[in-house]
């Protein structure tokens, strides 16, 4: 089935966020080690980024490594970091060819030196790209981000640079890692899990959620387009009534 041609370009989400889940189970089903699942997950990352750019999505945020993922066995964490370095190194040309800018959110200071260096190079090389921004959430958790934001705001209140009465939604947005991006309108999670797992808690306040049973390495361009079509069929009410929305 080809869903791409059914998509209405007038009703595209600007920003799609994805929890890429199920790599471990995918590998287990094949009698392989978990890292085999992550390695195959890279193909789905490439396909999804291409699919998003092709239809005109402006921001794609992928949850690649959570703060909690540091608690996985050391061997898996090391393998994931090695995979990340190799992938960034290999895919920078593809990003440039597709005019895609790479950025990151999260506590990237905690990543190994080699990872930070590879990321910094790719970010620098692609900073002029305009078609889409690919945001990798790395060593990211929403509670970490919100705590950080609150600490920075509190510091400014203490030194008189911010008045308590000035604290509103816009100000809090400014203190989050995502300050340069619009909030995602659509969040996709693969592998049949129906959880948000500490991902963009503030930013997903009004997002539509799309869950699929597909395990991440099996997630294809067409699966992405199917999610976009599902999103386009929904009525986004933002707390208003259906009648108010249709009269707008
Ligand atoms: C979740 O599956 C996936 C991850 C924690 C890592 C995601 C990493 C990749 C897709 C590969 C590298 C990414 C980039 C951006 C280069 P899981 O391990 O939690 O699967 P399970 O729930 O079946 O155990």
Give the pLDDT of the chain (248 residues) as one tens digit per residue. Answer: 689 999 999 999 999 999 999 999 999 999 999 999 999 999 999 999 999 999 999 999 999 999 999 999 999 999 999 999 999 999 999 999 999 999 999 999 999 999 999 999 999 999 999 999 999 999 999 999 999 999 999 999 999 999 999 999 999 999 999 999 999 999 999 999 999 999 999 999 999 999 999 999 999 999 999 999 999 999 777 787 778 777 87
**Is 191 domain-assigned?**
yes
Residues with CB under 6 A from ligand 1: 20-25, 38, 41-42, 45, 62, 64, 69, 83-84, 87, 136, 191, 216
Verify whether residue 69 is a known catalytic residue. Answer: yes
Is 47 assigned a catalytic role?
Answer: no
173 lies in some domain: no
Tokens of 32: 């392989």
Nearest CA owner, ligand 1 atom 3: 21
Helix (H) or strand (E) holding 124, with range, is helix 113-125
Centroid of ligand 1 to alpha carbon of 134 (angstroms): 17
In-domain check, residue 56: yes
Establish if 174 belongs to a structural domain: no
The predicted model scores a pTM of: 0.95
Residue 27 lies in a domain: yes
The reply to whether 238 falls in a domain is no
> What is the residue range of 74's domain?
12-141+183-232
| Contacts for 133 with CB less than 8 Å, ≥ 6 apart | 58, 59, 60, 100, 101, 102, 103, 181
- Atom nearest to 69 CA in ligand 1: 5
Q: DSSP strand E in 32-168: where?
A: 59-66, 100-105, 132-140
* Domains in the chain, number: 1
Residue with tokens 């960034």: 88
What tens digit of pLDDT does each residue of 45-96 get? 999 999 999 999 999 999 999 999 999 999 999 999 999 999 999 999 999 9
Which CATH number fits the domain that encloses residue 16? 3.40.1180.10
243 part of a folded domain: no
Residue 6 lies in a domain: no
The Cα 16–Cα 58 span in angstroms is: 8
What residues does 66 pair with on adjacent strands? 140
Give one word for 222, left, alpha or beta, with left for phi > 0 and alpha for psi -120 to 50.
alpha
Centre of ligand 1 from the C-alpha of residue 81, in Å = 11
């Amino acid at each position: 089935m080809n869903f791409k041609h059914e998509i209405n370009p007038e009703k595209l989400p600007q920003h799609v966020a994805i929890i890429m889940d199920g790599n471990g189970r995918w590998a287990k089903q094949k009698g392989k080690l978990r890292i085999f699942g992550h390695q195959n997950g890279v193909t789905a990352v490439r396909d999804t980024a291409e699919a998003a750019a092709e239809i005109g999505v402006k921001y794609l945020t992928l949850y690649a490594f959570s703060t909690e993922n540091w608690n996985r066995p050391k061997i898996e964490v090391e393998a994931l970091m090695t995979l990340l370095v190799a992938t960034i190194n290999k895919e920078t040309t593809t990003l440039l060819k597709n005019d895609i800018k790479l950025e990151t959110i999260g506590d990237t200071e905690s990543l190994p030196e080699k990872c930070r260096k590879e990321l910094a190079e790719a970010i620098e090389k692609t900073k002029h790209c305009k078609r889409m921004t690919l945001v990798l959430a790395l060593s990211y958790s929403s509670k970490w981000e919100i705590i950080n934001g609150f600490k920075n705001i509190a510091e400014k209140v203490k030194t008189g640079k911010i008045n308590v009465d000035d604290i509103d939604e816009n100000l809090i947005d400014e203190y989050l890692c995502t300050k340069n991006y619009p909030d995602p309108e659509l969040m996709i999670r693969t592998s049949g899990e129906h959880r948000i797992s500490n991902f963009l808690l503030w930013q997903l306040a009004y997002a539509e959620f799309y869950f699929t049973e597909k395990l991440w390495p099996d997630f294809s361009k067409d699966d992405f387009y199917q999610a976009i079509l599902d999103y386009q069929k929904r009525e986004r009410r933002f707390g208003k009534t259906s009648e108010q929305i249709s009269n707008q």
